[in-house]
């Protein structure tokens, strides 16, 4: 179109321009096939609205605003008005340009569009009802969310995120949700001058970001809170990844981060560089910077008051690798990339207390600890056995990562993979172990394969003194960090010093290259020492990177045997056990973890299976944990094991197993000669517990083993009374048969269900059931099971009162239960002595009046309707209509 044609006045020319522009809008839509995701980037609008078109629009429509202002402040607004075919252009200047807020600023520009409401748009002095509704509907497509660095965006679900179509890439997923790489048009990303970002997009037109999408709103808010605390601290560290922005769109919660090239796990697979292309000094330097970041998080958080921090999930996949974008900077350039700590979703941050308090106590008693149990390869011993985590736990995790970094360089990719696989095997190095953690066993020790790998480091290059010096230092450092007892571990600042001293022991770059090109295959390592023994040379943090003389002294004893360990020097009179000596705590902790194999190992050594820990004996802990295998292991180990003594709540082991609905354990205890009628606190028996629990299988088992259903508890009830209170929250038809079956089992043993309570009001089980009325099919099944067959066959007497004269029907009327009252009357309950109808609800009065007729008296044969009612419900177990 020629310029003169664009500028030619007239409504027709203006209409032609708008039609052509609408066609181009349609072609510019991103994600057009996703109704709630499609949008038009601002760059596309700028391209469509070239200067000639804006000039023509101004000329033909006389908008009363200059072209520059129109492009900067009203680009999206004008586009929306074109799209909805607005016909009020003569009022554009009045409605949009001249409208000011109370401070004298324009408040109807593109920046204000997210603030518009339908009520506002439909006002007569704005767009009116017709165009206001259209404008609101289309604004989400024309105005995708602007991402402001350091900002927090909260929008309704209709708003669109500005992620370009076809550019998404899945990076990973986890329990929190998933991570993708996205690309944002440059115009929709606003850098903040107040945020110090070490990230700078390489493209001038696009901004790549990593998008972390959360399933749980709680997880999103927790990680955001942690990141805000880290960002708000006065001190900063460039090896901690901070978020660019948080964006909540409806029920979708997003954290945006600078995108990394990969994580350290992929780096250790050789994706970034092959081991032979990495310089050992560069790897150690990056590790030292990570340790410095950990020190920063542990010790330097807080703005005006100090904070305590624990990452709780430090592992290679939570360390990101960024390609160095400043290779010309000799001081900061890193050929192996820049490594940075990320993923603070499980971290704990709180204000430091003025009085001393163990950090593990703080973590264990912090509410967010309960959100998720952390378990995994890199977790510290205190985490693995449930004692909570602290900053020392992060140091352990970091030590595990250091082992793999050094193995990557020293042994190559295949060697590291072999070590990883061996870490998950048993003591023979072949059979699978239950996990691949860096600690194992009970008591916990350093993984024997990791211990051997570290211990044998100095044996690799005996011919080269400089290499020996480095490897001895590396060995001592790793043993110092990977101490089982966390007070023995160095703090993060000390680890940084260790790494710098380790780096200083590397061969001079001008000397013959040994460690710079190490790619030797891993030699077969000797079998580990005894599983229960600690590593042969425990070292303190202070001695781990001491003088060369100290290190050589340690090295002189580097090849040791189990006989050199103090635990091997036993007194002659001390008995010898095949396994380790374990305390009650160790045994109970192992039982709580459900590790039957480790329990067997402990039982092969010196351990007291009757001694209580945490107020309970090992057998009770196993029953509470529903661990059938461990109960069997304990009973096989000690055939005379005490199966009668009460737990701290006064329950026998048998009743405790019944309360846990664990039939296999009940069977094991009965086989071990547990007294079937052994009484727990308040005279309660296992049979009473089974009746109350509603467990037909266990109740039948106990009866078959001779359990007495006629025993009374201290409160004067027997098992049939307890059966009346079971399962009040269960209503599924699947439970109905069980409810009726329990009544039938007990009726068969007792002969009759009309057995009164002792020492109280002498109520019958049927009245007990009525007092526990709940309108469910499960309850009605028991109701008809008790009445089935009538009094002559051992069924309940429907009119039997307690010693105070209260009958089931009187109770139902007084409590105003219309369905229960109807059922009782249908089954010929006597209406004698009913309370006055004056205070009853109308529905209750109608039920009673319906049945107030001759022939419905106690002892009568009953109507055909009532007899049919009993038959019907005893067969199908459904409540009355």
Residue 188's CATH number: 3.30.200.20
- Distance between CA atoms of residues 667 and 408, nearest Å: 53
Domain boundary at 526, 560, 594, which? 560
Domain boundary at 540, 560, 580, which? 560
Q: In what order do the strands lie in the sheet with 169-173?
A: 151-155, 245-249, 252-257, 206-214, 177-185, 169-173
Residues 431 and 482 reside in one and the same domain: yes
Quick one: pLDDT at residue 736?
Answer: 56
Is 249 domain-assigned? yes
Quick one: pLDDT at residue 545?
Answer: 32
Residues 462 and 502 reside in one and the same domain: yes
- Residue that has been written with the tokens 């560089």 in this structure: 273
What is the domain count for the chain?
Answer: 4
User: 151-155 and 245-249: which strand pairing?
Assistant: parallel
Q: What is the span of the domain harbouring residue 120?
A: 3-143
Residue 271 sits in a domain whose CATH number is 1.10.510.10
193's tokens: 């001058």
Quick one: pLDDT at residue 540?
Answer: 34
Is 340 domain-assigned? yes
Residues 297 and 164 reside in one and the same domain: no
203's tokens: 């493209």
Q: Is the pLDDT of residue 47 over 80?
A: yes
Residues 455 and 507 reside in one and the same domain: yes
109's tokens: 């520009």
Q: Is the pLDDT of residue 880 over 50?
A: no
Q: Is the pLDDT of residue 787 over 60?
A: yes
Is residue 398 packed enough to be buried (19+ CB in 10 Å), middle (13-18) or exposed (0-12)?
buried
For Cα atoms 396, 402, 405, give the angle at the middle one, nearest 5 degrees.
Answer: 155
Q: Which residue has the higher pLDDT, 765 or 760?
A: 765
Residues 276 and 388 reside in one and the same domain: yes
Region 820-832: mean pLDDT is 92
Q: If you compute the radius of gyration of the chain from its CA atoms, what whole number of angstroms results?
A: 39
Is 537 domain-assigned? yes
Give one word for 128, left, alpha or beta, with left for phi > 0 and alpha for psi -120 to 50: left
222's tokens: 């927790």
Check: CB of residue 664 under 8 Å from CB of residue 697.
Answer: no
Whole-angstrom CA distances from 819 to 338, 577, 800, 853 are 73, 69, 20, 19
518's tokens: 């190490």
Q: Is the pLDDT of residue 325 over 90?
A: no
Residues facing residue 606 across a β-bridge: 581
Q: Which residues contact 344 (CB under 8 A, 6 or more apart)?
A: 223, 226, 227, 230, 311
- Distance between CA atoms of residues 393 and 405, nearest Å: 19
Quick one: pLDDT at residue 249?
Answer: 93
Quick one: pLDDT at residue 558?
Answer: 34
Q: Is the pLDDT of residue 557 over 80?
A: no
Residue 829 sits in a domain whose CATH number is 1.25.40.20
What phi and psi, each to the nearest 5 degrees, are found at residue 194?
-85, -5
- Measured between its terminal Cα atoms, the distance across the chain in Å is 80
- Please tell me what DSSP assigns to residue 752: -
H helix intervals, 317-384: 359-364, 381-384
- Distance between CA atoms of residues 881 and 879, nearest Å: 7
Q: Which residues contact 777 (CB under 8 A, 6 or more apart)?
A: 731, 732, 733, 735, 736, 877, 878, 879
Residues 416 and 270 reside in one and the same domain: yes
- Distance between CA atoms of residues 157 and 380, nearest Å: 42
pLDDT tens, position by position, 638-674? 989 999 999 998 999 999 999 999 999 999 999 999 9
Q: Which residue has the higher pLDDT, 19 or 540?
A: 19
- Distance between CA atoms of residues 627 and 594, nearest Å: 7
Region 578-593: mean pLDDT is 78
Check: CB of residue 710 under 8 Å from CB of residue 750.
Answer: yes
- Distance between CA atoms of residues 655 and 650, nearest Å: 10
- Distance between CA atoms of residues 231 and 151, nearest Å: 12
Quick one: pLDDT at residue 514?
Answer: 41
Quick one: pLDDT at residue 428?
Answer: 87
User: Which segment of 62-76, 107-121, 779-793 scores lowest on mean pLDDT?
Assistant: 62-76
- Please tell me what DSSP assigns to residue 641: -
pLDDT band at 363 (very low <50, low <70, confident <90, very high): very low
pLDDT band at 495 (very low <50, low <70, confident <90, very high): very high
User: Which segment of 56-60, 170-174, 606-610, 808-812 scores lowest on mean pLDDT?
Assistant: 56-60
- Distance between CA atoms of residues 621 and 606, nearest Å: 19
Is 640 domain-assigned? no
Quick one: pLDDT at residue 172?
Answer: 84
- Distance between CA atoms of residues 874 and 782, nearest Å: 9
Is 786 domain-assigned? yes
Q: Is the pLDDT of residue 64 over 60?
A: yes
Q: Which residue has the higher pLDDT, 852 or 337?
A: 337
Closest Cα to residue 661, out of 699, 620, 617, 616? 699
> Mapping DSSP to helix (H, G, I), strand (E, B) and coil, where does residue 25 land?
helix
Q: What percent of the chain has pLDDT over 70?
A: 79
- Distance between CA atoms of residues 153 and 841, nearest Å: 55
Residues 339 and 422 reside in one and the same domain: yes
Closest Cα to residue 244, out of 231, 256, 227, 261? 256
Is 520 domain-assigned? yes
Residues 187 and 317 reside in one and the same domain: no
pLDDT band at 352 (very low <50, low <70, confident <90, very high): low
| H-helix or E-strand spanning residue 481 | helix 465-481
331's tokens: 């001081």
Residues 251 and 400 reside in one and the same domain: no
Whole-angstrom CA distances from 232 to 101, 242, 677 are 33, 11, 65
Q: Is the pLDDT of residue 608 over 50?
A: yes
Quick one: pLDDT at residue 463?
Answer: 66
Residues 166 and 110 reside in one and the same domain: no
Q: Is the pLDDT of residue 284 over 90?
A: yes
> Mapping DSSP to helix (H, G, I), strand (E, B) and coil, where does residue 320 land?
strand
Domain boundary at 544, 560, 576, which? 560
Q: Is the pLDDT of residue 872 over 80?
A: no
pLDDT tens, position by position, 590-603? 899 888 888 988 88
Q: Is the pLDDT of residue 853 over 90?
A: no
Choose the most confident range, by mean pLDDT, from 73-82, 364-373, 730-739: 73-82
Is 708 domain-assigned? no
Mean pLDDT, the chain, rounded, equals 81
Check: CB of residue 873 under 8 Å from CB of residue 789.
Answer: no
Is 360 domain-assigned? no
Q: Is the pLDDT of residue 446 over 50?
A: yes
Q: Is the pLDDT of residue 533 over 60?
A: no
Residues 73 and 175 reside in one and the same domain: no
For Cα atoms 822, 827, 833, give the angle at the middle one, nearest 5 degrees.
Answer: 70
| H-helix or E-strand spanning residue 698 | helix 696-704
Quick one: pLDDT at residue 127?
Answer: 96
Q: Is the pLDDT of residue 523 over 60?
A: no
> Mapping DSSP to helix (H, G, I), strand (E, B) and coil, where does residue 579 land?
coil
Quick one: pLDDT at residue 357?
Answer: 45
| Angle in degrees, 0-180, between the axes of helices 696-704 and 686-693, rounded to the nearest 10 | 150
Check: CB of residue 292 under 8 Å from CB of residue 237.
Answer: yes
- Distance between CA atoms of residues 535 and 456, nearest Å: 12
Residues facing residue 252 across a β-bridge: 249
For Cα atoms 771, 773, 775, give the angle at the middle one, nearest 5 degrees.
Answer: 170
Determine the longest span between alpha carbons in the chain, in angstroms: 117
169's tokens: 């890439």
Give one word for 841, left, alpha or beta, with left for phi > 0 and alpha for psi -120 to 50: beta
Q: What per-residue string of b and e applies to 102-141 under the rule 16 or more CB within 10 Å gives b?
A: eeeebebbbebbeebeeeebbeeebbeeebbebbbebbbb
Quick one: pLDDT at residue 461?
Answer: 72
Quick one: pLDDT at residue 300?
Answer: 83
783's tokens: 């109701």
Q: Which residues contact 780 (CB under 8 A, 6 or more apart)?
A: 736, 823, 873, 877, 878, 879, 880
Region 743-759: mean pLDDT is 90
> Mapping DSSP to helix (H, G, I), strand (E, B) and coil, where does residue 226 land?
helix
Residues 175 and 189 reside in one and the same domain: yes
Quick one: pLDDT at residue 375?
Answer: 64
pLDDT band at 9 (very low <50, low <70, confident <90, very high): very low
Quick one: pLDDT at residue 232?
Answer: 75
| H-helix or E-strand spanning residue 628 | helix 628-637
User: Which segment of 149-163, 174-188, 453-467, 847-861 scores lowest on mean pLDDT?
Assistant: 847-861
């Amino acid at each position: 179109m020629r310029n003169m044609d664009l500028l030619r006045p007239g409504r027709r020319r203006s209409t032609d321009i708008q039609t052509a522009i609408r066609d181009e809008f349609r072609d510019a839509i991103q994600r057009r096939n996703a109704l709630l995701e499609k949008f038009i980037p601002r760059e596309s609008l700028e391209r469509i609205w070239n200067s000639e078109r804006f000039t023509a629009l101004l000329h033909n429509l006389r908008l009363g605003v200059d072209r520059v202002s129109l492009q900067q402040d009203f680009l999206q607004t004008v586009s929306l008005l074109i799209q909805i075919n607005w016909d009020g252009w003569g009022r554009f200047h009045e409605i949009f340009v001249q409208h000011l807020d109370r401070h004298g600023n324009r408040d109807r520009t593109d920046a204000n569009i997210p603030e518009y409401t339908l009520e506002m748009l439909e006002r007569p002095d704005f767009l009116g009802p017709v165009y206001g509704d259209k404008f609101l509907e289309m604004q989400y497509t024309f105005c995708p969310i602007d991402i402001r660095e350091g900002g927090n965006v909260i929008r309704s679900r209709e708003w669109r995120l500005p992620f370009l179509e076809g550019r998404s890439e899945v990076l990973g997923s986890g329990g929190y949700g998933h991570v993708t790489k996205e690309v944002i048009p440059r115009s929709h990303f606003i850098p903040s001058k107040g945020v110090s970002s070490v990230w700078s997009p390489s493209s001038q037109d696009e901004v790549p970001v990593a998008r972390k999408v959360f399933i749980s709103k709680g997880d999103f808010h927790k990680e955001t809170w942690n990141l805000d605390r880290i960002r708000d601290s006065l001190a900063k560290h460039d090896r901690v990844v901070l978020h660019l922005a948080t964006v909540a769109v409806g029920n979708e919660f997003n954290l945006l981060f600078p995108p990394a090239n990969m994580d350290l796990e992929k780096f250790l697979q050789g994706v970034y560089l092959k081991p032979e292309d990495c310089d050992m000094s560069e790897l150690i330097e990056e590790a030292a910077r990570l340790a410095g970041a950990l020190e920063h998080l542990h010790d330097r958080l807080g703005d005006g008051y100090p904070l305590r921090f624990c990452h709780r999930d430090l592992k290679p996949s939570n360390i990101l690798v960024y390609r160095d974008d400043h290779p010309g900077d000799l001081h900061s350039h890193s050929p192996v990339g820049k490594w940075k700590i990320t993923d603070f979703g499980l971290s704990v941050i709180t204000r430091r207390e003025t009085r001393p308090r163990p950090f593990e106590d703080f973590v264990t008693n912090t509410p967010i600890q309960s959100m998720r149990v952390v378990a995994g390869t890199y977790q510290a011993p205190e985490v693995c056995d449930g004692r909570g985590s602290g900053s020392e736990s992060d140091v352990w995790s970091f030590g595990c990562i250091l082992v793999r970094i050094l193995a990557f360089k020293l042994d190559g990719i295949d060697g590291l993979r072999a070590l990883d696989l061996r870490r998950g095997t048993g003591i023979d190095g072949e059979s699978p172990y239950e996990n691949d953690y860096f600690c194992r066993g009970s008591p916990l020790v350093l993984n024997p394969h990791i211990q051997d790998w570290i211990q044998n480091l100095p044996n690799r290059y005996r011919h080269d003194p400089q290499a020996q010096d480095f490897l001895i230092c590396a060995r001592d450092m790793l043993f110092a960090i990977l101490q089982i007892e966390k007070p023995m571990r160095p703090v993060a600042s000390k680890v940084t010093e260790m790494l710098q001293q380790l780096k200083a022991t590397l061969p001079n770059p001008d000397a013959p290259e040994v460690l710079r090109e190490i790619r030797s295959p891993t030699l077969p390592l000797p079998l580990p020492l005894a599983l229960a023994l600690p590593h042969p040379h425990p070292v303190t943090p202070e001695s781990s990177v001491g003088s060369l003389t100290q290190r050589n002294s340690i090295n002189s004893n580097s090849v040791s045997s189990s006989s050199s360990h103090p635990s091997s020097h036993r007194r002659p009179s001390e008995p010898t056990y095949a396994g380790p000596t374990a305390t009650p705590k160790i045994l109970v902790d192992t039982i709580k973890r459900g590790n039957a194999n480790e329990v067997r190992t402990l039982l092969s050594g010196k351990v007291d299976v009757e001694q209580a820990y945490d107020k309970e004996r090992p057998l009770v802990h196993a029953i509470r944990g529903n661990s059938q295998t461990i109960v069997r292991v304990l009973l096989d180990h000690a055939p005379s094991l005490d199966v009668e003594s009460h737990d701290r709540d006064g329950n026998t082991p048998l009743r405790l197993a019944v309360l846990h609905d664990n039939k296999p354990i009940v069977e094991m205890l009965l086989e071990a000669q547990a007294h079937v009628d052994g009484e727990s606190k308040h005279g309660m028996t296992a049979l009473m517990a089974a009746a109350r629990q509603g467990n037909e299988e266990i109740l039948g088992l106990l009866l078959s083993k001779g359990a007495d259903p006629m025993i009374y508890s201290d409160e004067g009830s027997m098992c049939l009374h307890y059966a009346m209170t079971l399962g009040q929250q269960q209503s599924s038809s699947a439970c109905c048969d069980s409810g009726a079956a329990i009544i039938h089992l007990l009726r068969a043993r007792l002969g009759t269900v009309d057995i009164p309570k002792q020492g109280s009001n002498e109520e019958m089980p049927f009245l007990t059931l009525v007092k526990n009325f709940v309108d469910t099919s499960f309850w009605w099944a028991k109701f008809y099971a008790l009445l089935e067959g009538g009094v002559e066959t051992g069924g309940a007497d429907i009119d039997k009162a307690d010693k105070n004269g209260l009958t089931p029907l009187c109770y139902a009327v007084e409590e105003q239960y219309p369905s229960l009252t109807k059922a009782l009357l249908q089954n010929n309950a006597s209406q004698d002595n009913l309370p006055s109808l004056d205070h009853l609800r109308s529905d209750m009065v109608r039920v009673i009046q319906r049945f107030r007729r001759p022939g419905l008296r106690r002892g009568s044969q009953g109507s055909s309707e009532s007899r049919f009612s009993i038959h019907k419900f005893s067969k199908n177990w459904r409540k009355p209509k």
